Structure 1
Amino acid sequence: MHLYELMMGFGIALINVVGVLVIYAVTRAIWGGRQTEETTALAGSVMTRVATLHGLILALVFAQELADYSDIRSDLVSEATAIADIFNDIRRYDTPQMAEVQATLAAYMRHVIANEWETLSDTGKLTGAGWQLREKIHQTVLDLNPDTPRREDLRAHMVAKSELIAELRQKRENNAVRSLSGLFWFAAIVGLVWVAVPYFTYAPTPLHLSLLSLYGAYTGVILYVIFAFLDPFSQPGALPPTAFTQLLAGEMGRY
């Protein structure tokens, strides 16, 4: 994790702590010292129920965003595997177009790493150049004329893999433009406030304030991580195209 990400996470946690303590101070100034034992019991009951619902909302959204983030990483590995399959199958096919296809595959990966990843972060769109490189690969394998059962199987496999690359590219673009509904952020912030309010029944001792700060800080960290997972192509939760760089570190990097 980079220093920038750590500082941003710390800042959001600190803002949450300050917000919770301000809510506590305001409600304590208004109602503190005048509540009965019944008020304390009721506040504790309300706080428990709201905190449970608030925690459940955060947990469900956190789990969904983590799953989506993992799916993007898995799709990138699947795309890299499809590229490697075409790279090796065209060699087995033994055609004059072999060097051209292999060089285009390497150029495609370099373009994704150097240009398209940043473009997805800035605009949420794939580049036309990336699609052209993929189309060149697809058209080349489509134009092959297999004359043996072996070559026919290899061509069918390469065509299927080139179609898979297009499918995974489209999924990547869709993931780059998706966003989390503002209703979630509204519910998260309101839940944070409503959990903090009943704490006014507790005296402002150092221990109580520390525990309240701990709650605010941890909630802030969870919200920060959810925010980071929302955009896997931008900081603070940017997902590097490791599967592509690993391929280029091997034989494909020579093309």
Structure 2
Amino acid sequence: MSSTLYIVPTPIGNLEDITYRALSVLRKVNLIAAEDTRHTSLLLNHFSINTPLFVFHAYNEKKRVPVLLSKLRLGHAVALVSDAGTPLINDPGYCLVRSCCLLGVRVVPLPGACAAITALSASGLPTNRFCFEGFLPSRQRVRINYLRKIFNETRTLIFYVSKYDMLNVLRDMVVVFGSERYVVLVRELTKMWESIYRGVLKEVLDRVEHGQISIRGEIVLVVAGYCINKQKKREEMLSMEVRYIIDLLAKELPYRRVIDLVVKICGVNKNMVYKYLLKEEI
């Protein structure tokens, strides 16, 4: 195990989800680099593991990397863990792993829990292609601009959302993605209060606003990708205002003239206006 950095996933809730191999590594390494030593101590104590802990979090990562590298180059084995799930996935560790790769230090990843993948697997949304977006920006203007940039993304989108931002994130998604975009809200995975809620954005937002969906605990939001055909159909749908204009013009003008005027004034699809005039199914 000498001169090796182990990437060790830890349970996201249920302690029984840890692997035998993870426990073996945590017992045998010389040091465990942990995001929150108090949190990790609960896990280690539960499995009677006494390996020394080393504080390694987002705020001291750059300063701590040289210390860990020196230990690794001296022949020590180090395990990197986060508070829950797989390290580096929206957690500290990139600088350390990148440095190890550049210096030729062996890096061994262990498979294990990851909230994003666990939520995706139960979402009912396409899993063959997806994007992990982590936490959205906390400032509304920046968040809305970010959502606009990924509006046309056709892959399934996965977000982590804090309970403090949940309402605002859903409201901004309705504004940018539209009220009919399908989402799956997954909370407290593997824990006693694990819950999965499915529906279009408008429905999920309404249930959250009325307290029908709890937003306490850890939340993963899985969002359907942009669907070109459905979006095009929605864009072609005639609003009540456009239908009102068509009805008024049709009382005074020939259908051909009505179609030309409505297309110019409202910018809608010509065929949709024609079908509406003929009372066909739109």
TM-score over 0.5 for the pair:
no
Larger relative contact order, structure 1 or 2 (CA cutoff 8 Å, min sep 6): 1
TM-score (norm 1): 0.20
Higher-helix-fraction structure: 1
TM-score (norm 2): 0.19
Higher-strand-fraction structure: 2
